[in-house]
Structure 1
Amino acid sequence: MTKPYQRPAQDEPVWWFVISGGELLMTEAKQIPHGLLEDLPLPDLNEYKTVFIGELRERHCYLVIADYGDTNFNAVGEFLSVRELIVGSDDELFAMAARAKQIADFLATHRFCGRCGARMQAVDWEIAMHCHSCQHRCYPRISPCIIVAIRKDNQVLLARGKRHPEGLYSVLAGFVEAGEPLEQTLIREVMEEAGVRIKNPRYVTSQSWPFPNSLMIGFIAEWESGDIRIDPFELEEGGWYDINKLPRIPQEGTIANKLIKRLKAEIDQERNS
């Protein structure tokens, strides 16, 4: 078993997930650096915190935490948003990049104990931070969030959030509250944001979303009753859109795009059957 802070062997090709200021090091071709340490123009990694975070395609993956504005990696590429990996990469690679970013955020935000305020220490056999003063231990945490494509006949409910780029519409989403089952979150969030009731929710897929630490849990549901009443504190506008006449939607690779495409495929199949 590889321990988190064990260094890779010199003859071992690995994936290098270098995080600086929440951004990920990518080559000019927007790829994750991969290969033998001696073959890559990386700086001396003995000067950096390096963490084993798992395996991808039978190769070990290491997180390297760099300082904000670190220029020692310029020969490899540049630091970009993890969002750059959503398009053109597979789900496994994006998931590992999301894991790297979330662990980097966890280590940066848990240097001191939330219970007694003492400095915490990294556990050397697992990814965790431990307080030797009060024995409090923390692990990387995620914030579960439902996201749902709602169907009404051959239409889908889309809305534009306040933080969305102009002209971009997506499906509804919201965070799970403490003690709340997912089914209740779906009903509550849709009612709060759009004022409609849903029925027959079906789980479709999930996606790690490291902005900063969400897990998106995707569903498809059907409209049951009610007219759309958009929550002005959360959304700018929204409505029912014909599945074949959609406005601009989230990009390929996002869970929102996958849910919309899945709903469209189901509607098209019904039309052709």
Structure 2
Amino acid sequence: MKKLLITCMMIALVAVLAACGGKDKNVSNDEKSITIGATAGPYSDMLKKAIIPGLEEKGYKVELKEFSDYIQPNQALANGEIHANLFQNTVYLDNVVKENNFELSKLINVPTAPMGIFSNKFKSIEEITDGSKITLPNDPVNAARALIILQDEGLIEFDPNIEILKASEKDVTVNHKNLKFLPIESGQLPRSVESTDLAAVPGNFALSAGMDLLDALALENMPDQYRNVVAVKTENLDKQFAKDIKEIVESAQFEKVIDEEFQGFGKPEWMK
């Protein structure tokens, strides 16, 4: 009985050592299975066409989880339900982290659909007439983006002492065309093109409505803070899957897909 017990213990020990040795040599299935979240639309498409294929070539099994709002993707990331997400810009991410004490971080900026000034009435910025009405987003971040486009196109001027990324209507000191600003919900902006003179439409809403970014009278010269990012939990920034995602986004193949499939998207500074 004593010899039998010793023999059984030795067999068990060999099995454990073999299992441990196997783990040292190979990445486990769990480490090669990841879930990435996105809102339905252009960034879900970017994952499908430009990022997930690269991960699959590296041996990953990738699940794409689509969300219908901007709240759940960060909650799911913070809770560990997904490994990364792609749907938000740096400004939005920083606000969410601050308000919720989430430990989330930007991994890398990606090409982003810019906001555009659209019109069914005018064919160019130069044609805009005095007193024209323009719909723009009613949230502060996107309203500032719309106003910055108008400034860049020479239609308005700001108080030079303001923080430009926080610009609002009250900061407009010169309105060369006496534009009438009509703030509305971003989701309504694409349809407002039919009923008003001009509309400042965020790129993702424009694409979701079937609009062509290249039809805009002017496209946003977007600061990197407004470009979308791949986000991960801060503790995972140095994990292999995060490094692999970053490597894929930085690859020539990724940029090729962007140039072919996502025309009009503004590239981040690191790509230029």
Relative contact order: is structure 1 or structure 2 higher (C-alpha 8 Å, sep ≥ 6)?
Answer: 2
Using structure 2 for the length normalisation, give the TM-score.
Answer: 0.24
Using structure 1 for the length normalisation, give the TM-score.
Answer: 0.24
Whose strand fraction is larger, Structure 1's or Structure 2's?
Answer: 1
Whose helix fraction is larger, Structure 1's or Structure 2's?
Answer: 2
Greater Rg by CA: 2
